[in-house]
Amino acid sequence: MEKWLEPALAYIPNWLAYQMRQSGQPGVSYAITYRGEVVAEGAFGHADLGAGVKMTPRHRQRVASHSKTFTAAGIMKLREQGRLKLDDTVGQYVKGLHPEIAAATIAQLLSHTSGVIRDGFDSGQWQNRRPFLNEAEIRADLKDGPTIPPNSRFKYSNHGYGLAGMVIAAITGEAYNSWIAREIVAASGLTETQPDAPIGANQPFARGHSSKILLGRRMVIEGENSTHDLASATGFISTAADLARFFASLSPEAEKSVLSVASRREMTRRQWREEHSSIERWYGLGTISASLAGWSFFGHSGGFQGYITRTICVPAEHLSISVLTNAADGLSHFYLDGMVHILAAFRKRGAPTREAARWKGRWWSLWGAFDLLPIGDRVVVANPAFFNPLMDASEIAPEAGTEGGVRQGRIVLAGGFANHGEKARLELDARGKPTTFWHSGGKMLPERAAKAELRGISG
């Protein structure tokens, strides 16, 4: 493993634990792979608030629209076998459709450009008001044809991916769930992933949770309802580790994959830009692409009642990251972005030098906490309360050695409203353990001492 990666992976759970403590989220699990191998994983909070069950990395969660990536991979595998073409029409395989929907191509289904209705005329399945739809109910929603002209814009559609699942079943002569579980999931070496509920009796499963805003408390959502013939769009259940491994295997740079390099390139290339969005992102074939912190990535996200999840792969860095949260207001998108910023900073500036590494720890005051995070030859004063803890962070250049039980440094980078050019120091006890951090004139303490000080102020 690269030297820069180790300290980045060491800080991520430290930052994430603070985020969970601050946000009061029910639970989170995460995994990071490097060159296809899991190099870090962890979990915080609860898999079930009602039962008091702690979250672990082995807890399966509903990962919703990650299912689309598995389905697209299945279509690409059939294409490699010569059993379909991407410009084949849906009507070649699924009979009895409205003529305009039958004329849509498989590529249009996978890229969400077929114009098909998103979730039908009654999408109560997403609020637990009705079961997820079977094939007959999906067909009924499609009887009036597309809602907009095909190939006119990117328009997300779960029903479109329901049709893609029907295509797979028609070509293979086998139920979608059975075929995809064998030909894509098992073939990828995944052992904690399945296309739909229910899960096995001995497999740990994280329950979903509502937000707190309506009732002032979170309600547990069972989360084990079948998605029936929408499994190809939203049914999958998995862990962060399995998802990170799977998306890593879809990188054109991956050494092992169920798909050829050509198929992976076709799946992950940017095809359709999302026009009406403050985030610059693109859709390919079952993948979402964007850039962050100078890194281009592809991946997917998922929203199921009580769960928000996200996974990305950064091909150029051989990294994949997956973050799963089990709440309707889950913060997986923000947590994953924060991890990218941390990893990118260490990748750019390297592992800490010997002098920088001597500055460390979380330091507190009435205002909150700061983390001394050594990166390269600087000490970054990170804010663990931020989704990007390195955003606009001050930087300290440490001086060599220790004099009189004090380590000295200078703040060599700070915002105009901060302490640029001023001194910083760490005071040590007789054993050389840091006891106080001075950021210019700001005194910060370990958590226990800061608590005692704050009680004294408030008392």
Task: Give pTM, 2 decimals.
Answer: 0.97
Per residue in 405-427, pLDDT tens? 899 999 999 999 999 999 999 99
Q: In angstroms, what CA-CA distances link 259 with 76, 169, 175, 186, 266?
A: 7, 19, 21, 13, 11
Do residues 209 and 327 touch, judged by C-beta distance below 8 A?
A: yes
Do residues 195 and 70 touch, judged by C-beta distance below 8 A?
A: yes
The structure tokens 């969400």 sit at 112
Alpha carbons 41 and 416: distance in angstroms, whole number: 38
Alpha carbons 297 and 292: distance in angstroms, whole number: 8
Per residue in 45-94, pLDDT tens? 999 999 999 999 999 999 999 999 999 999 999 999 999 999 999 999 99
Supply the pLDDT for residue 459.
58
104 phi and psi angles, rounded to 5 deg: -65, 145
411 phi and psi angles, rounded to 5 deg: -80, 100
Across 445-456, average pLDDT: 94
pLDDT mean across residues, the chain: 97
- Does residue 302 sit in helix, strand or coil? strand
- Residue ranges of domains in the chain: 25-349, 354-458
**With pLDDT > 70 as the criterion, what percentage of the chain qualifies?**
100
CATH code at 25-349: 3.40.710.10
- By C-alpha distance, which of 49, 27, 20 is closest to 220? 49
Handedness of CA 191, 19, 288, 115 (dihedral sign): positive
Tokens standing for 252? 């054109």
Supply the pLDDT for residue 306.
98
Supply the pLDDT for residue 456.
87
Do residues 59 and 45 touch, judged by C-beta distance below 8 A?
A: no
Across 25-32, average pLDDT: 98
Alpha carbons 208 and 3: distance in angstroms, whole number: 37
| Edge-to-edge strand ranges of the sheet holding 378-382 | 361-365, 368-375, 378-382, 394-398, 406-413, 423-428, 434-439, 442-444
Q: For residue 130, what are the contacts with CB-CB under 8 A and spacing of at least 6? A: 122, 124
**Radius of gyration (Cα) for the chain, nearest Å?**
25
The structure tokens 């500036």 sit at 349
Supply the pLDDT for residue 402.
81
364-379 in b/e burial notation, b at 16+ Cβ within 10 A?
A: bbeeebbbbbbbbebb
Alpha carbons 134 and 162: distance in angstroms, whole number: 9
Residue 54: its H or E element: strand 53-54
- By C-alpha distance, which of 326, 333, 311 is closest to 387? 333
Supply the pLDDT for residue 458.
62
